[in-house]
Amino acid sequence: MEKRYVAIWFPFLVTDWYIRQFPLYKNVPLAAVLPLHGRMCITAVNRAAFNLGIHVNMVLADAKAAVPDLIIFQDTPKRSSTLLQKIGYWCIKYTPLIGLDGLGGLILDSTGCTHLWGGEKAYLSDIQLELSQRGYTVKVAVANTIGAAWALARYGNHNLPIDSPNINESLNSLPPEALRLEKTVIDRLYKLGLNTLDRFMNIPLSSLRRRFGAELVQRIEQFNGTREECIHPLKALDPYEEKLPCMEPIRTAKGIEIAIEKLVNRICNRLAKEGKGIRKAKMISYRVDGKLIPIEIGTNRPTVNKKHLLDLFVLQIQMIEPALGIELFTLHASHVEDLALYQERLWAVDRTVENKKLAELLDRLRGRDMDCHIHRYLPDEHHWPERAIRTATSLFEEATIPWPSNCTRPTRLLHPPEPVMVTAPIPDCPPLMFRYQDEVHYIKRADGPERIEREWWLEQGEHRDYYAVEDVKGNRYWLFRLGHYLGDRSPNWYLHGFFA
């Protein structure tokens, strides 16, 4: 497919932005200023000031002397590049590959995109119209190379149709500035009478290199396409991305859901063919007013289950405020992993973490409340209760040791253990009753003691004697006595856990 590039130039970008904020200054001479080498200099002008001879880098005092009615405002060093970046992100609706040209404009790789707008002419017209309606003065051009598109946008005949047979003549008649050359090289070309491209483009490159240096040769080759020139994209291309432009702006939740369903179907079909599954995905809604609204989902295991992914996105539709309407949807699979083959069991119910239904349930719980925390625990090689379990790093991490089956442990541990008041015979009889949170529990059954010594290589301290007890209401608790009875001192008792 033939490469096509679109160049967008904003001759009055900063002043256009300022006029958007203050429309009263639309038809008056306007300039932005910044201090440069100890003097205030012009950094941007609008059309009215330009027509009166005010230009960039002009000293403010000279400009005010020439045009006393000139309105000035304070510029900032990076305002132009910041504005270009914001406009570039908005232009992603036209193509995913957009970069700054470094000279006050944008370069779009339009290859394979124009048919979505009904052709190249309609594509360029839509870009021009949309940016003009937002208050920017723009010049747009398209060509087979970045250099030619850049030249046409700034110096070309914009009244000439893009498919005109005279387009090559228009290129040949451009001035040397159209090649993005240094001023010293341009001055030398003019001095020799080479004031249009056709005067020197056919001269052997070796001769041009000897006389004007390697820069001129490089720019000619880039202009003709014999030397490759790349766009440095504002946004790195996501290998798994789908777009859905809308013929009419979408304003309803049902319309948004239908758009999401189409995008999910497309990206899942593509990922399934490559044996990949989604772990994280982001959908961005591009509103008519230029605002971008992102929503994100995550899964516990790689999946291409379309219904499950759609349900996760639908949970967040309420976060999308369409306002005047959404004109473009994009879906990025920001994190994908290899999709493990899953063998369905025909004769038994899978009750392990490999059950896809369990993973999907956890995803839905997280989708309803992004602040919720879901943990899975595995046994650890310690006998001290607080260290005997650890948090699993993933849903599918396997235990290195089996769960202990020779001792009873509660389903919920308190950390740290909470002190309780206990009535118990001595020296090693189970407790008869205990008080916890101002409630007295009378013990009906008890089992113990089970002595657990501290891990002396980690810390020092007294041992614990644990009792599993059941009160008269049938509730079961895990109590322990800390240390020995010593003379008149009674040891402290603690509640450490609850049995199911």
pLDDT at 351: 45
166: region left, alpha or beta (phi > 0 left; psi from -120 to 50 alpha): alpha
Q: What is the pLDDT of residue 489?
A: 66
For 373-389, the pLDDT digits (tens) are 777 788 888 888 888 88
Peptide bond into 245 cis (omega under 30): no
137: number of Cβ within 10 Å = 16
Please name which of 263, 269, 268 lies closest in space to residue 245, comparing C-alpha atoms. 263
CA distance 436 to 470: 14
With CA atoms as reference, report the closest residue to 356 among 396, 310, 391.
396
Q: Spell out, as residue ranges, where the chain has pLDDT lower than 50.
A: 344-351
pTM of the model: 0.56
Considering the segment(s) 5-66+75-164 as one domain, its CATH architecture is 2-Layer Sandwich (3.30)
Does the fold of domain 244-338 match that of domain 5-66+75-164?
A: no
Residues 53-83: pLDDT tens digits? 999 989 999 999 999 999 999 998 889 999 9
- pLDDT value of residue 344: 47
Q: Which residues contact 265 (CB under 8 A, 6 or more apart)?
A: 306
pLDDT of residue 363: 77
Residues in the chain: 500
**pLDDT number for residue 14:** 92
Q: What is the pLDDT of residue 348?
A: 44
**Is 3.30.1490.100 the CATH number for 244-338?**
yes
Other Cβ atoms within 10 Å of 287 Cβ, number:
19
Domain ranges of the chain: 5-66+75-164, 244-338, 412-498
